[in-house]
Amino acid sequence: MLEYLKIARPDHWLKNIFIVFGHVVVVALHPECWDHGDAVLPALVSLVPACLIASANYILNEILDAPFDRLHPTKRHRGIPAGRVEVKYLWVFMGVLIVAGFWMAARLFSNGYVLALGMLLASGLVYNIPPVRLKDRAFMDVIAESFNNPIRLWLGWFALSLGEWRWPPWTIVLAWWAFGALLMTGKRYAEFRFINDPEVSGRYRKSFSVYTENSLIIAMITYANLFCFGAGLAMASLPPLRGQVLVFPVILFAIIAYFRHAMSETGARLEPEQLLRNPWLLLWTGVTAGLSLWLLTTQVPVERWLGLE
């Protein structure tokens, strides 16, 4: 039973903490969404359907990737390639997770939340299932996988938006997507260097036969710039977010730490998930989140500090 649970990857549910970012955005732009006293419980429960659908996507991913994982130096030890689980039971497990996730979403949340949850499931389908299988298409794999960031933003947004069909500003969506694309490209870069064999990596994942270290570095720089562009526009155009301009120096330090670690010799020996667990990256991420929340909840005279008054 434990092997089946491992394939659902509950240890990756932590990624759904990004739904909280959607909560923060809707409360920052529309504080009335938090005025009623029963908003805390929906905010917490909104993570549950997303975790169930994410696990369904992970199961699909592992089923369809099993032939390729057998070629990977470490993934060949997973449950399916190693023969420790039966695929027919995984299909049933996947179906149960999908039904449970959408049942809960339909009972507790707005149509907007259910739509966003459907997008989360659809992203897993187009990412994994042939003939589309964006996972095998260079650069499109990152674009598709990082689209889960805006989806989680929408899940958090619609969980607290009082059932109204208003969407978060496109500038925030762009910045959040580009941030995810930067991290996903960094993972590709780390995995490309970790395998360190173009022929083996190309057999393991078709997109790796197109990628080079230089192209992945250029892509990371592009996504970092897109993130800064979207975030800057959001801060300039949305008065409640003006104070976030003071967070930008910290964000730059976090990006520098990320690039430095990803391109180091140590980074070349790490698997992608290990790359993102670097203590310095976690430190700067925590500092960024803490400072952002403080600025959102404190009346900071940003215009006066910056001499704009």
| Per-residue DSSP letter, 161 | S
Model pLDDT, residue 175: 94
pLDDT tens-digit readout, 45-94: 999 999 999 999 999 988 888 777 676 667 776 767 766 778 888 899 99
| Per-residue DSSP letter, 263 | T
pLDDT tens-digit readout, 179-220: 889 988 888 887 788 777 777 776 777 788 888 889 999 999
Helix intervals (H) in 238-305: 248-262, 265-268, 272-275, 279-297, 302-305
More confident residue, 232 or 275: 232
Neighbours of 265 (CB within 10 A): 7
* Mean pLDDT value of segment 19-44: 79
Euclidean distance between CA atoms 186 and 180, whole angstroms: 10
The answer for residues whose C-beta is within 8 angstroms of residue 109's C-beta and 6 or more apart is 42, 46, 49, 158, 159
Kindly list the distances between the CA atom of residue 170 and the CA atoms of 3, 153, 167, 176, 233, in Å, as whole numbers in the listed order.
41, 11, 8, 10, 10
Euclidean distance between CA atoms 204 and 195, whole angstroms: 10
Q: Mean pLDDT across the chain, nearest whole number?
A: 83
| Per-residue DSSP letter, 133 | -
Model pLDDT, residue 150: 95
